[in-house]
Structure 1
């Protein structure tokens, strides 16, 4: 049995293309003037009582006062009561506030989180087997969810949970569900490049002279390896190896994580990079009109859309509570949290839109890739291929 190892899939704590054929990535232009500063870390939810003694879920200081909550509100969901052990491959910086908010809302509900990389947590569950204390596995890495489901460590989620999510972004057998999403993008320095200077196809990047020694990536980072896995599925191992080798020969520059790549683009240290969309938003959120924007390739692996998600452990002694907790991750309030607070992700219920500066979900031009096929891919083979190509 392979040891699951996706190297660096934890999220950085320092931290589509347009529907028209023109101006296809100017969605973030002018974000600095729109008051994104203060969104990160300022979404607080508190519990209170109205005249009928029913709890109200209040959104405080989100910076998006004009956003109306959509979807199923927490008030219409079953109460959470008891103690839940959550193994979280999502960083505390990004989801800890959400956990606290839920505990503040429900007086008799406690989350006992265990934070770590999805790699470590998956291997821990494998070691613990039926004795694992984990009730819920919550992760940014959908491959880890697929692996645990495939090895029988998870149980099917109730229909009332699965019915909330987007079709195609959950396990066909109901073993896990996507809770938020992220698009692969190409950030570029707007002082040095126009949108027309960035190729529409990832295959053209190592052939673009302007990008020689001027493009960055984070090959040890889980999201970058997910992109390479998507390329393997779509193009085959041989073509992917050739592309990786060509990128190395073209002088692609390595960084520790994708937030650093986006920062380097804004600093003028790089002309372009390969990152998830929200790292660009975070740079814009923390700087005054930095020279950075992002584009999307035309439906190839570099525009892959991936999800974070959650599953209930098969041996959970609190399976009903665990399923209802996952249900709360798909509530109107939690989905808006993912969209406008620390993560700037794509919500995973159809009723909630991303922040205004991002293309809508329906406008993304993602590749024709079955997410289930992606979850069944062996990430260790991706790492081996990247090492063989000199990318790791």
Structure 2
């Protein structure tokens, strides 16, 4: 990227940074999308079958969409509709790594309501545990699908040669970087971001690169992070791959020396920023939305860095296991996860970035195309052990 392009990107992002504050109390308060269940009327949710463009007010999206102001006025959504896909019929064993507080289970339940002949046997655990179980089971695994909230765990399984190559009808709607080698496909995205307290900082106070944070006045001495959290470790892994081990070690040490505060997870980091305990922190983008859902007047906003590990876009995704005897059904299931209705579910209930064109993110978030993530193969995020050793060496873990 040229210096002129970088300057243009920075200016565009500065214009997008205050998206939460711009919504105001009326624009984001009362969100139920984080915890709401699926549709109450049990209807199948099929639309007009055009597959290209449909009004959000038509039957179908209402049974998948979250409630609250962020889910309103989402018209002219595009994408493949569930009605355009073959019916789901048969039985799948799905290893579910993570699950966004049960919301993924809700989506599975909705599919089973739509298709009475479709049965899911979910096995739930943490992302690393699920991946390690599949790797341990090898070709004897009973799993047909591995659906995980973390690209690193998907890549770990793929690197063992345990995933089937996905057909073009599954992966084509998704940007290439989110289906590396067609071994798995992204279903929902999350961007690294910097939640900051608007009473203490402005968007211009937040550096464009995380490497500058330790030396930036008002940042490192009042920053928070969650080093035991998987998303943070993926971020450090990306930094190690981009900047090198020595620079990453020095950055971690500089942040520790500057007095960064540790929290158990990034939702707590975002709450601490809103409380004024911190000026800023490191977190996935959707945690700020979740804080604002219950605290619409909180002095909280998001900034995005540019082109570095702090701008990493990670994904939840799904893979079909090579040992599965239900490959056709499993591939069809993945197509359902990428349907317009399911993508609207992820956007308005988990606040994730949709993976297909035609379904916009919520809350005035910049689109993935407007962000400037680093050029990194997400499959490399599975190389976590050197990151953990580095963090232990510095004393972060």
CA-CA distance at 1:211 after TM superposition? 2.6
2:253 paired residue number: 245
Task: Give the structure 2 partner of residue 139 of structure 1.
Answer: 148
1:275 paired residue number: 283
CA apart distance, 1:219: 0.5
1:284 aligns with 2:268: no
Tell me, yes or no, if the aligned pair for 2:164 and 2:321 is still in contact at 8 Å.
yes
Provide the rounded CA distance (Å) in 1 between the counterparts of 2:220 and 2:98: 34
Distance (Å, rounded) in 2 between the aligned partners of 1:47 and 1:110: 18
Structure 1 alignment gaps of length 5 or more:
1-15
Selected match of 2:139 from 130, 141, 151? 130
Per-residue CA shift, 1:229-258, capped at 9, x if unaligned? 111111100110011111111111111111
Quick check: 1:227 aligned with 2:232?
no
Is the Cα–Cα contact under 8 Å of residues 17 and 295 in structure 1 kept in the other structure?
no
Q: What does residue 394 of structure 2 align with?
A: 389
Instruction: Report the CA distance shift for 1:49/1:20 in structure 2 as closer, same or farther (over 3 A).
Output: closer
The corresponding residue for 1:328 is: 336
Q: Deviation of residue 131 (structure 1)?
A: 2.1
Partner of 2:51: none
Pairs within 5 Å for 1:169-188: 169-172=178-181, 174-188=182-196
Partner of 2:52: none
1:383, distance to aligned residue in structure 2 (A): 0.4
Q: Distance in 2 between matches of 1:176 and 1:369?
A: 16
Q: 1:34 aligns with which of 27, 31, 41?
A: 27
Distance 1:384 1:161, change over 3 A: same
1:212, distance to aligned residue in structure 2 (A):
4.3
Partners in 2 of 1:153 and 1:368 — Cα distance?
Answer: 26
Q: Is it true that 1:210 corresponds to 2:213 in the alignment?
A: no
1:288 is displaced (CA, Å) by: 2.7
> Who is 1:318 aligned against?
326
State TM-score, norm by structure 2.
Answer: 0.88
Cα deviation per residue 1:44-85 (whole Å; 9 max; x = unaligned)? 2433499x9xxx635246332421332000000111111211
TM-score (norm 1): 0.89
Pair 1:348–1:243, CA change in 2 (3 A): same
Q: Helix, strand or coil for the counterpart of 2:108?
A: helix
Give the direction of change, closer, same or farther, for the CA distance of 1:17–1:183 in structure 2 (3 Å limit).
farther
CA spacing shift, 1:21–1:143, aligned 2, 3 Å: closer
State how many pairs are aligned. Answer: 369
Instruction: Tell me how far apart the structure 1 counterparts of residues 10 and 346 of structure 2 sit (CA, whole Å).
Output: 22
Moved more, 18-27 or 286-295: 18-27
Match of 1:89 in 2: 97
Looking at structure 2, the residues matched to 197 and 87 of structure 1 have their Cα atoms a distance apart, in angstroms, of 43
Measured on the aligned residues, the alpha-carbon RMSD in Å equals 2.1
Query: In the TM superposition, what is the alpha-carbon distance from 1:355 to its structure 2 partner?
Result: 1.0
Whole-angstrom CA distance in 2 between matches of 1:234 and 1:58: 40
Query: Match for residue 47 of structure 1?
Result: 43
Distance 1:184 1:110, change over 3 A: same
